[in-house]
């Protein structure tokens, strides 16, 4: 299998962590989002939404949407299961995954795109912007690119996005009051779904995860990072990766 992904993409991190936990071999194909490689015709044939990740299973077979990919992998490779066996607990797990997709991801995109993509996008000419927008398959993502290129998110918008993002920590602190993991007292796709967002919160505002502020999430995050799969999934620090990319661009 080939995994087309972005190193800093939260959805890509989720799938890489799932595959690492299950010990599934795959070919890594990084997609440069800053150069809009996800909007190329070849990539759109794998994922018509033009976002990462996409999993190419075989000739003419590909999957996208990180939650779908993870459940497929858990079905395809039932060893080391990452979903509760009980139907009710499995439904609760899906609710957590859906919550992170609906409540966390849109707000994290505001913060990440403002840092990673806005500086370059703001320098595009109108003709360059028009050409790039024509390649983007969804109206939602076209609007997001227009925002960072011509109407950058305000400090007030970014502050509101941050507050909405850290609501995840309060939610998890409550969920962890009765179990060591988020669902059914067992490590699952719910924990994998939350991990990329907690990783980013740890970089932006680590005080939120202090033991004094959120002791259960603090302990959960410590245990997450100690798992061998976490290192294998390569959760590179966002700022470090951006600096390395910009240094490479300056020298090459």
pLDDT tens for each residue of 20-45:
999 999 999 999 988 899 999 999 99
Query: Does residue 117 sit in the same domain as residue 194?
Result: yes
Domain membership of residue 127 (yes or no) is yes
Element (H, E) at 168: helix 155-175
The answer on pLDDT for 112 being more than 80 is yes
DSSP-derived 3-state class of residue 249: helix
Query: Does residue 128 sit in the same domain as residue 246?
Result: yes
Q: Average pLDDT in the 199-218 region?
A: 97
The answer on pLDDT for 219 being more than 80 is yes
Read off the CATH number of the domain in which 218 is found.
Answer: 1.20.1050.10
Query: Does residue 152 sit in the same domain as residue 101?
Result: yes
Q: Where a domain ends, among 51, 76, 101?
A: 76
User: What pLDDT score was predicted for residue 242?
Assistant: 62
User: What pLDDT score was predicted for residue 222?
Assistant: 98
Q: Average pLDDT in the 200-209 region?
A: 96
Domain membership of residue 121 (yes or no) is yes
Residue 63: strand pairing partners = 55
Query: Does residue 234 sit in the same domain as residue 115?
Result: yes
The answer on pLDDT for 65 being more than 90 is yes
Query: Does residue 141 sit in the same domain as residue 225?
Result: yes
Query: Does residue 72 sit in the same domain as residue 93?
Result: no
The domain containing residue 58 runs over which residues?
2-76
Query: Does residue 20 sit in the same domain as residue 48?
Result: yes
Query: Which among 49, 65, 155, 145 is positioned nearest to 105, based on CA atoms?
Result: 65
Read off the CATH number of the domain in which 52 is found.
Answer: 3.40.30.10
Query: Does residue 68 sit in the same domain as residue 101?
Result: no
DSSP-derived 3-state class of residue 29: strand
Phi, psi of 30 (to 5 degrees): -65, 140
- Both tokens of 57, joined, read 């299973």
The structural domain count of the chain equals 2
Rounded CA gap, 71 and 97, in Å? Answer: 11
Q: Average pLDDT in the 187-216 region?
A: 97
The answer on pLDDT for 252 being more than 50 is no
Specify the pTM. Answer: 0.93
pLDDT tens digits along 6-17: 999 999 999 999
Domain membership of residue 81 (yes or no) is no
Mean pLDDT of the chain: 94
Query: Does residue 93 sit in the same domain as residue 210?
Result: yes
Domain membership of residue 82 (yes or no) is no
Give the distance between the most distant pair of CA atoms in the chain.
Answer: 56
Q: Average pLDDT in the 176-205 region?
A: 96
DSSP-derived 3-state class of residue 76: helix
Query: Does residue 63 sit in the same domain as residue 99?
Result: no
User: What pLDDT score was predicted for residue 84?
Assistant: 97
pLDDT tens digits along 152-180: 999 999 999 999 999 999 999 999 999 99
Contact 39, 50 (CB under 8 A): yes
Query: In this structure, is the dihedral angle defined by the CA atoms of residues 67, 73, 74 and 75, taken in order, positive or negative?
Result: positive
Residue 186: strand pairing partners = 183
């Amino acid at each position: 299998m080939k995994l087309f992904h972005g190193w800093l993409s939260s959805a890509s991190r989720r799938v890489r962590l799932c595959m690492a936990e299950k010990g599934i071999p795959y070919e890594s194909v990084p997609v440069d989002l800053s150069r809009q490689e996800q909007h190329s015709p070849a990539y759109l044939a794998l994922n018509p939404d033009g976002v990462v990740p996409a999993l190419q299973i075989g000739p003419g077979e590909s999957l996208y949407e990180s939650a779908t990919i993870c459940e497929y992998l858990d079905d395809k490779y039932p060893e080391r299961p990452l979903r509760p066996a009980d139907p009710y607990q499995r439904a609760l797990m899906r609710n957590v995954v859906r919550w992170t997709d609906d409540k966390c991801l849109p707000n994290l995109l505001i913060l990440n795109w403002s840092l990673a993509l806005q500086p370059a996008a703001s320098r595009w000419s109108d003709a360059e912007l028009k050409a790039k927008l024509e390649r983007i398959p969804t109206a939602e993502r076209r609007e997001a690119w227009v925002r960072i290129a011509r109407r950058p998110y305000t400090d007030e918008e970014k502050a509101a996005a941050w507050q909405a993002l850290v609501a995840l920590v309060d939610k998890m602190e409550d969920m962890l009051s009765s179990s060591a993991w988020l669902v059914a007292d067992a490590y699952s796709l719910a924990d994998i779904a939350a991990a990329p967002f907690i990783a980013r919160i740890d970089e932006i505002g680590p005080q939120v995860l202090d033991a004094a502020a959120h002791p259960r999430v603090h302990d959960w995050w410590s245990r997450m990072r100690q798992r061998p799969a976490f290192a294998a999934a390569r959760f590179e620090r966002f700022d470090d990766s951006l600096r390395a990319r910009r240094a490479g661009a300056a020298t090459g």
